C-alpha cells in the first residue's frame, strides 16, 4: 500500500491498491497493521463520519482542541472535493502552512491527517460524499476553527466567490492571527 509524504510533516497521502475487473473493483481502504507499520504508531479509530454536500459547499477549517484533538483518515465516496489542511502545531516548522489535495471517487486517494491540523474541503462536483475516520470522539466544547477565507492563509478553494456556500457558523470563525494569539 503506497504512502506518499506531503510537505507538511506527519501528513500522508495513501493510495490503496485497487483490483478491478469486469465485475467492478475491490480495495482495502484501511488496515491497522499496515498503517501502524508505516506511521510508526498504532491509530485506533473510534468514530466514522460521513457527509453529503453540493457543488460550492466549503466546510471548514475545523479542529478539536487539547485532549480531544483528532487524527483523521479522509476520502471521497462519490464526487470530487478539494481537501485542505492547515498545520496549527505552534512548534512545527510548517506552522501556518496549508496543503491542498483533490480527493475523488475516481482517484480513490486518502489523506491521513495527524492531530494538530485544521481541516476543511470544498465540493468541486455536482455533489460529493465525504467519509472520515477519527481517532477521538467529537466534543462540541472542544471544537475550534479558523476562517476559510483568511487572507494570511491565502487558500484557493477553486470555487468562485459568488458560488461558495458556507454555513453561518463557518462564516463566524476567527482569523488565523486571532488563533495564533491564543499561544
Domain of 7, CATH number, reads 2.60.120.10
62: annotated active-site residue: yes
Task: Please spell the DSSP secondary structure of 141-180, one letter per residue.
Answer: GGEEE--TT-TTT----SS-GGG-B--HHHHTPPPHHHHH
Which is catalytic among the residues 55, 62, 98, 148?
62
Which is catalytic among the residues 25, 132, 142, 148?
132
pLDDT (tens place) for every residue of the chain, 183 residues total = 588 999 999 999 998 888 888 998 888 888 888 888 888 889 999 999 999 999 999 999 999 999 999 999 999 999 999 999 999 999 999 999 999 999 999 999 999 999 999 999 999 999 999 999 999 999 999 999 999 999 999 999 999 999 999 999 999 999 999 998 775
Nearest-Å Rg of the Cα atoms of the chain is: 16
pLDDT at residue 22 in the model: 94
| Total domains in the fold of the chain | 1
pLDDT at residue 1 in the model: 53
Q: Which domain holds residue 21?
A: 3-180
Amino acid at each position: 500500500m503506497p504512502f506518499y509524504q506531503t510537505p507538511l510533516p506527519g501528513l500522508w497521502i495513501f493510495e490503496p491498491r485497487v483490483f478491478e475487473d469486469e465485475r467492478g473493483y475491490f480495495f482495502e481502504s484501511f488496515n491497522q497493521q499496515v498503517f501502524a507499520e508505516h506511521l510508526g504508531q498504532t491509530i485506533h479509530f473510534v468514530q466514522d463520519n460521513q457527509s453529503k454536500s453540493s457543488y460550492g459547499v466549503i466546510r471548514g477549517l475545523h479542529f478539536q482542541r487539547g485532549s480531544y484533538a483528532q487524527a483523521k483518515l479522509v476520502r471521497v465516496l462519490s464526487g470530487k472535493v478539494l481537501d485542505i489542511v492547515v498545520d496549527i502545531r505552534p512548534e512545527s516548522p510548517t506552522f501556518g502552512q496549508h496543503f491542498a489535495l483533490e480527493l475523488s471517487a475516481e482517484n480513490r486517494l486518502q489523506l491521513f491527517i495527524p492531530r494538530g491540523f485544521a481541516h476543511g474541503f470544498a465540493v468541486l462536483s455536482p455533489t460529493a460524499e465525504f467519509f472520515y475516520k477519527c481517532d477521538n470522539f467529537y466534543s462540541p466544547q472542544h471544537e475550534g476553527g479558523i476562517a476559510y477565507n483568511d487572507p494570511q492563509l491565502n487558500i484557493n478553494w477553486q470555487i468562485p466567490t459568488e458560488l461558495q456556500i458556507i454555513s453561518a457558523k463557518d462564516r463566524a470563525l476567527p482569523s488565523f492571527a486571532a488563533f495564533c494569539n491564543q499561544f
